[in-house]
């Protein structure tokens, strides 16, 4: 049997064993008269009580994706003593980007109000996401207007972990991507970041996490994970980290070597994954802070 096959078989066995030690509630609506996309899943350890809550936001370019695409994360976090929540949200082009962020805030509001029923602590929420979900996680953890509209504050978010996002500074990625295509004589994308984020400089800035970072806003510490040899996500990760640090907010960069945009996400929760070890250490330290 090939090494890769052996590795996959081992992961499947681990996954099956861990899945027996968790309780799962699927497709819970988080809004009144909820759209079919305004639902979330909750994974809990048996007899959970006042456990910290991982709130996960899937990727997919804000156009596709589903809360069920969590790989081994629920099992890994539940085993480590967390309640794990994975949320859906409405997608482009049916709604605009601002509405998507509002869905995330509304989902967090539901978690804050109801996660105690599942053994979670509503005052210790850890917001994470991959790709498009990374942009949403970083924005909702830095632009306090979205949670304020839900009657909440950034103080309930104890840490933020965006994974391989390229849109913490939307104007920068627009300029980078469009310049690259122009220099190489390629046609511009019909539905690129410019169009997705509202097609005006004001909206592009407003939907960028870096625009909203400031001192004394209760912005949580960040662990910014990215693929080491991906130039766009590396530059965006560094940009976000620099802005956070300039405002006195903890920001740790993790550069995943020999990885890819898909693998860095898929490997979170796997045994011996270095990013997972750093992630759990970071969460442990973040939860010690008042």
Give the domain ranges of the chain. Answer: 22-288
Cβ–Cβ under 8 Å, residues 220 and 287: no
Q: What is the pLDDT of residue 7?
A: 45
Q: What pLDDT, in 10s, does the model give residues 33-44?
A: 999 999 999 999
pTM given for the model:
0.93
Q: What pLDDT, in 10s, does the model give residues 85-125?
A: 999 999 999 999 999 999 999 999 999 999 999 999 999 99
User: Does the domain spanning 22-288 belong to CATH 3.30.43.10?
Assistant: no
The answer on pLDDT for 19 being more than 70 is no
The answer on pLDDT for 240 being more than 60 is yes
Of 155, 156, 134, 158, residue with least CA distance to 233: 134
Q: What is the pLDDT of residue 12?
A: 52
Distance between CA atoms of 98 and 288, rounded to whole angstroms?
A: 33
């Amino acid at each position: 049997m090939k090494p890769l096959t052996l590795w996959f078989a081992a992961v499947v066995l681990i996954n099956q064993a861990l899945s027996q030690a968790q309780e799962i509630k699927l497709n819970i609506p988080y809004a009144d008269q909820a759209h079919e996309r305004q639902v979330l899943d909750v994974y809990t350890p048996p007899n959970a009580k006042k456990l910290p809550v991982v709130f996960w936001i899937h990727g997919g370019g804000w156009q596709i994706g589903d809360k069920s695409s969590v790989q081994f994360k629920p099992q890994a976090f539940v085993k480590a003593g967390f309640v794990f929540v994975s949320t859906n949200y409405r997608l482009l082009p049916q709604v605009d980007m601002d509405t998507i962020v509002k869905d995330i805030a509304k989902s967090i509001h539901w978690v804050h109000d109801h996660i105690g029923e599942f053994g979670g602590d509503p005052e210790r929420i850890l917001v994470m996401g991959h790709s498009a979900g990374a942009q949403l996680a970083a924005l909702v953890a830095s632009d306090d207007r979205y949670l304020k509209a839900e009657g909440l504050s950034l103080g309930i978010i104890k840490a933020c972990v965006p994974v391989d996002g390229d849109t913490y500074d939307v104007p920068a990625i627009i300029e980078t991507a469009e310049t690259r295509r122009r220099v190489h004589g390629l046609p511009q994308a019909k539905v690129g970041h410019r169009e997705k984020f509202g097609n005006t400089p004001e909206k592009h800035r407003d939907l960028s996490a870096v625009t909203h970072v400031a001192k004394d806003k209760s912005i949580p510490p960040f662990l910014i994970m990215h693929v080491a040899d991906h130039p766009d996500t590396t530059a965006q990760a560094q940009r976000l980290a620099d802005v956070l640090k300039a405002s006195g907010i903890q920001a740790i960069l993790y550069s995943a070597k020999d990885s890819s945009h898909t693998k860095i996400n898929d490997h979170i929760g796997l045994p011996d994954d270095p990013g997972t070890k750093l992630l759990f250490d970071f969460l442990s330290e973040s939860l010690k802070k008042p």
